[in-house]
Amino acid sequence: MEKKINDFLTILKTENDKKEALFLLDDLLENLFKTDGSLSVFIKKSSQSPVAKSVISLLPDGWENPQDKDDLEKMIIKIKNTVQNLKTVNITVAVNPNETMLQSLNDWASKNFESKIIFDVTVNPEIIGGAIIVSGGTYHDFSLIKRLKDVMEAGKNEIIASLKTN
Amino acid sequence: MINPQLLVFLIGAIILLSIIVVSLVISYGASLKRLKKLQENEDALYKKTIEEEKNIVEQAQTDYQGIIKAADEKAKEILNQSAQINQTSEKELNDAVAGLAEKEKNEINARSQILLKQYEEQIAQINDNSINILKNISEDIKTSVISHFDELKKLMSEQTFESKKAAEEKIKVEYDELEKELQNYKQKQLQEVDQKIYQIIFNVSKAAIGKGLSMDQHQELILDALERAKNEGGL
């Protein structure tokens, strides 16, 4: 079961993934004990999203008619609490990250930290490249726009003088 | 009952009072008589006095008229005598006055001639003096004017020089200020141009770098940023 949970968490890369997962888990808990087929409808409806697929993958075999739904409920609540407590790092980047980039970030986080980290990604093309990172009340601007400004400010007079002489 | 002694005393008192009253009446009657007599004497004396006064006045009037008449006569006599004396005296006086007047006239004429001569001499002298004074004044004025003109000329020359100097200094100060302002404006304009050049270069660099980065390079930069943030203890 622990392995299933770890695999599930691996799927969650961004704050949006986290929110979607929490929403699905709440919905699952709400429909878990209904006998009117609502749970089946939920499963079919949510099966399109990778996060939803991973949520469904958490369910044990024969979940459609579980003998002991109480154990299942306990497990879902435990997963939900784990997701809620995941550490979030705010990161601003210049381009909209694709799946490869998100996976790369996730891999880097898994490699460098024991606990799971979720990235709350904001896109701002003005920063050109690099990233602005806010976590735990600290601010780090490693954007290219800042580096460009620093470089140009340092060599501003020389640049202008060079242009004038040429 | 009345006390006999008292009765006697009363009767005695009444008798005494009666005697006193009778005495007083008699005395009063005598006094009235004397008073009447005195009044008669007074009236008589008054009439006598009036009469005497009348007589005196009449006498005085008579005397007065006599005196006046005598005085008039005397006055007429004196006037007659005076008229005679006047006629004589007047003639003598007129003669004397005429003689004196003639003498005086001659003296006055002689004196006038002398005075006229002296006056003419003095006038001539005054004229001479005045001409001399005027000549001297004219010379003084001329000298003074020439002197003042030279001073004025010198003063004007000095003032002209000072004004020129002040104007030159003022022009220099204003020129310096203007040059300074121009320099500041030039500097400001150059700074603005520099700022614009800088902004253009910055925007070009930004655009060039932004467009020139591939997704892999973006990813590499992001991971590098994460690594640096981690090293700085921000994660």
| Mean pLDDT of successive 10-residue stretches along chain A, which has 166 residues | 80 89 87 74 72 80 70 85 92 94 92 90 94 92 91 79 71
**What separation, in Å, do the N-terminal and C-terminal C-alpha atoms of chain A show?**
70
Contact: B218, A93; criterion CB under 8 Å: yes
SS3 readout for chain A: CHHHHHHHHHHCCEHHHHHHHHHHHHHHHHHCCCCCCHHHHHHHHHCCCHHHHHHHHCCCCCCCCCCCHHHHHHHHHHHHHHHHCCEEEEEEECCCCCHHHHHHHHHHHHHHCCCCEEEEEEECHHHCCEEEEEECCEEEEEEHHHHHHHHHHHCHHHHHHHHHHC
Give the start-to-end residue ranges of the domains of chain A.
Answer: 2-84, 87-154
Torsion of CA A16, A22, A27, A31, to 10 degrees: 150
Chain B interface disruption, residue of A102, A126, A144, A166, most B CBs within 10 A: A144
Look at residue B14 in the predicted model and tell me its pLDDT.
Answer: 93
What's the pTM? 0.50
Number of A–B residue contacts, CB under 8 Å: 95
pLDDT by residue, tens only, chain B of 235 residues: 678 888 999 999 999 999 999 999 999 999 999 999 999 999 999 999 999 989 999 998 999 899 889 989 998 998 898 888 878 878 888 888 888 888 888 888 888 898 888 888 888 888 888 888 888 887 888 887 788 888 888 888 888 888 889 999 999 999 999 999 999 999 998 888 878 887 888 788 878 887 788 999 999 999 999 999 999 886 7
- On whether any CB of chain B is under 8 Å from the CB of A102, the answer is no
Predicted complex ipTM:
0.82
- Judging contacts by C-beta atoms under 8 Å, the chain B residues touching residue A142 are 221, 224-225, 228-229
Among candidates B202, B213, B226 on the partner chain, residue whose Cβ is nearest the Cβ of A129: B213
* Number of Cβ within a 10 Å radius of residue B148: 11
pLDDT at A7: 81
- Binary contact (B198, A136; C-beta < 8 A): no
- A152, B197: Cβ pair inside 8 Å? no
Q: Say whether B219 and A104 touch across the interface (CB within 8 A).
A: yes
Cα separation, B48 vs B35, whole angstroms: 20
Residue type (1 letter), B91: K
Nearest CA in chain B to A98: B215
The C-alpha atoms of residue A90 and residue A134 are separated, in whole angstroms, by 5
Minimum-distance CB partner of A144 among B194, B221, B227: B221
Distance of CA B196 to the CA centre of its chain: 85
Nearest to A133 among B202, B221, B226 (CB): B226
